[in-house]
Amino acid sequence: MALNLYFLRHGQTELSRDGVFCGAGMNPGLTTEGLLMAQSFFEFYAKTNWVAIYASPLMRAQLTAAPLSAAIKMSVISRAELREIEFGKWEGKSISTVQQDFADDYRAWSNDPLANAPSGGETALQIAARMRVLVQEILGKHSDGNVLLVSHKATIRVALCDLLGIDLAKYRDSLACPVASVSVIEFNKRGPLLKELASREHLSVKLRELPGT
């Protein structure tokens, strides 16, 4: 037996749809389509042998976890480690606005988000450090079964890169993580193994083709 961590990005929000910076400082709910994505995840994965459900405390992650939690009668464990990156002064702004108003910081962050943060925000190194704490805790509690972690785009990509030995400075260039996508890491005697990356097979074609980030 092995332990599998399912990293699920939350469903669509208005801000993800519009390509706006939305980090830990923003707390939108899900769009109608985002709620359908959460329901689709539950319907597809309901028969999986879940041993725990963890989620970011932000509303979009909690709402994504809710259908599965209610159906299998398993409480969601809220953990701040799963929150999205802190975008600081960029929160709620479009990419074009940030490129214009914070040109130097945006350029530095784009080139090396490991060492450079959004203006007043958080680096990839800080995200990796908090996620390591949670992953190690989960590994200490569970030796096998399936654990769901509902989180966010940057946080998931950083965590996956950290687990797989991928340069954290390249997390934005190395891994995809569209809304409602699932990535699975298996922990076995040889270490973490990537079994799925950004799978969206649980979504209808219509939901998969929606615009956004």
Tell me what pLDDT residue 207 has: 98
Pairing of strands 145-151, 3-9: parallel
Tell me the one-letter amino acid at 93. K
Task: Indicate the pLDDT class of residue 19, thresholds 50, 70 and 90.
Answer: very high
Tell me what pLDDT residue 110 has: 96
The mean per-residue pLDDT over the stretch 163-191 comes to: 96
DSSP, collapsed to helix, strand or coil, labels residue 207 as: helix
In this predicted structure, the answer to whether residue 202 has a pLDDT above a threshold of 90 is yes
Tell me what pLDDT residue 34 has: 98
The mean per-residue pLDDT over the stretch 185-195 comes to: 95
In this predicted structure, the answer to whether residue 213 has a pLDDT above a threshold of 90 is no
What kind of architecture, by CATH, is found in domain 3-84+125-208?
3-Layer(aba) Sandwich (3.40)
The mean per-residue pLDDT over the stretch 112-120 comes to: 97
In this predicted structure, the answer to whether residue 196 has a pLDDT above a threshold of 90 is yes
78: Cβ–Cβ under 8 A, 6 or more apart, which residues? 54, 55, 56, 57, 62
Place of tokens 């590994």: 139
- Any idea where the domains of the chain sit in the sequence? 3-84+125-208
95: Cβ–Cβ under 8 A, 6 or more apart, which residues? 19, 21
Mean pLDDT, the chain, as a whole number? 97
In the chain, at which residue ranges do the beta strands (DSSP E only) sit? 3-9, 50-55, 76-78, 145-151, 182-188, 191-199
pLDDT tens digits along 52-66: 999 999 999 999 999
**Is the CB of residue 146 less than 8 Å from the CB of residue 48?**
yes
In this predicted structure, the answer to whether residue 185 has a pLDDT above a threshold of 90 is yes
Residue in 212, 211, 201, 162 with CA at minimum distance from that of residue 8: 201
In this predicted structure, the answer to whether residue 1 has a pLDDT above a threshold of 90 is no
Give CA–CA dist 8/181, Å, rounded.
Answer: 6
> Max Cα separation, the chain?
52
| Tokens coding 170 | 């390249």
At 178, phi and psi to the nearest 5? -70, 165
